[in-house]
Structure 1
Amino acid sequence: MIDTLAAVGWLFGVVCFGAIVPIVPTGAAVSGAAALAFHQRDPVTMVLVVATGAAGAYAGDLVMYAMCRFGGEQLARRLHWLRDEEHLAAVKDRLKAHQIPVLLVSRLIPGGRVPVLLASAFAGISWRTFVVANLPACALWSVVYASIGLAGGSIFPEPWQGVVAAVLLILVINQAVTWWNKRREAASTAEGSGSS
């Protein structure tokens, strides 16, 4: 039991820290923990992984949102969170039209959470709206990544193999989405310069 509590504490810390410092692969941490939990054959441990992942993501998002609300664009630039102002303007427009769905979906898209958090903070989305919309977003995110880990744990006979498979799958998906987004941006930039 002590080992499980220590692991849950570590998972919470890693996911919370990764939500604030977006270079930490938080999805891979949840998937890896779920793959390990599968081999314990204890449903309570799996529920703890999902709940801890969601709680860590939620706490980290609240800290990041507060930093953006109070520190503004200047702090976001200093921390290198704000890179593409055109993209940020487009996200602000989407948020104005559909606040809750955009907040919900942003957590599931690799690289989508930070621009939406920044746009939400800079557009002045209320704390109440953010707190309410982000809770199911974090829970859904944790369930999705835990499911990937569960699949990895069920396919491979050894726990470490399931963890490695889950982490590699998450990294491949993130890279593929990043590549696809860059390709779309390059195509839209080329299209925009061709029409001018």
Structure 2
Amino acid sequence: MTLALNWSDTSSIGYPTLFLGVLIGSIVPIVPTGALVGAAAAVAMTTPHLSLPLVLLQATLAAAIGDTATFAVARLGSDAAVRWLARGQRPDRLVSARGRFDKRGWQLIVVGRLVPAGRIPVLLAAGAVSYPWRRLLPATLAACVLWAVAYALLGVLSGGIFDSPLIATVLAAVLVLLVTVVLNLVARWRRERAAARAEDKVDS
């Protein structure tokens, strides 16, 4: 809420906060970057202090720089740096992403950015298989554009419902959390189905 109030006061605080928040959250997943974008879009819809196109541009650039930095660490960094990035990640997810990367790396990069907790395993796998920079950069940019637009739409929706920037920002954050929960449930259901099919094949 404090962040939303600052944005309402002046764009000189809102834009750097958005950019740095998304950049840091794209490298170290401690910042709810989707909620930041949704909140900024909600403020842009309800006040003249932020521009929606600039919100989209900054969110896209910050996310792309963060993802590229994560890939660079995975590909060029030390083993300790890679282990630090991989902390908290399930080993089976890393192995699964690595095994599928050679076949459809571009799609994995896009989906990994859009699916909660999918980005880091995909980027680590890309670094492990030495995915070419010339393919990674356009795929990352496309993924970040889609990601920024998706979460900004939640902010636009909340801003269209309420004229108050504070209420619109809170609603945008709630919508982002709901979408994240739903996507996590869908991803878990798909993993359980895949595991069940694998067990059926072994039994047969």
Q: Which residue of 2 aligns with 1:118?
A: 124
Measured in 1, the distance between the counterparts of 2:133 and 2:37 equals 26
Q: Which residue of 2 aligns with 1:22?
A: 29
> CA 1:32/1:156 → structure 2, altered by over 3 Å: closer, same or farther?
same
Kept in 1, the 8 Å contact 2:89–2:121? The answer is no
2:76 is the counterpart of 1:107: no
Q: Which residue of 2 aligns with 1:50?
A: 56
Q: Write out per-residue CA displacement over residues 82-125 of structure 1, whole angstroms, 9 at most, x where no aligned residue.
A: 62232222222332112222222221122221111111111110
Compute the displacement of 1:41 (Å): 5.0
Q: Which runs of 5+ in 2 are unaligned?
A: 1-8
Q: Write out per-residue CA displacement over residues 40-69 of structure 1, whole angstroms, 9 at most, x where no aligned residue.
A: 258x71101000100110111111111111
2:148 is the counterpart of 1:142: yes
Kept in 2, the 8 Å contact 1:81–1:114? The answer is no
- Aligned residue for 1:175, secondary structure, equals helix
Q: Write out per-residue CA displacement over residues 138-194 of structure 1, whole angstroms, 9 at most, x where no aligned residue.
A: 112111111110111111121111111111111122122223333443454466557
In structure 2, which of residues 67, 70, 81 is the aligned counterpart of residue 64 of structure 1?
A: 70
2:151 is the counterpart of 1:170: no
- Aligned residue for 1:24, secondary structure, equals coil
What count of residue pairs does the alignment treat as equivalent?
A: 194
- Overall identity of the aligned pairs, in %: 32
Q: TM-score, normalised by structure 2?
A: 0.84
Q: Which residue of 2 aligns with 1:133?
A: 139
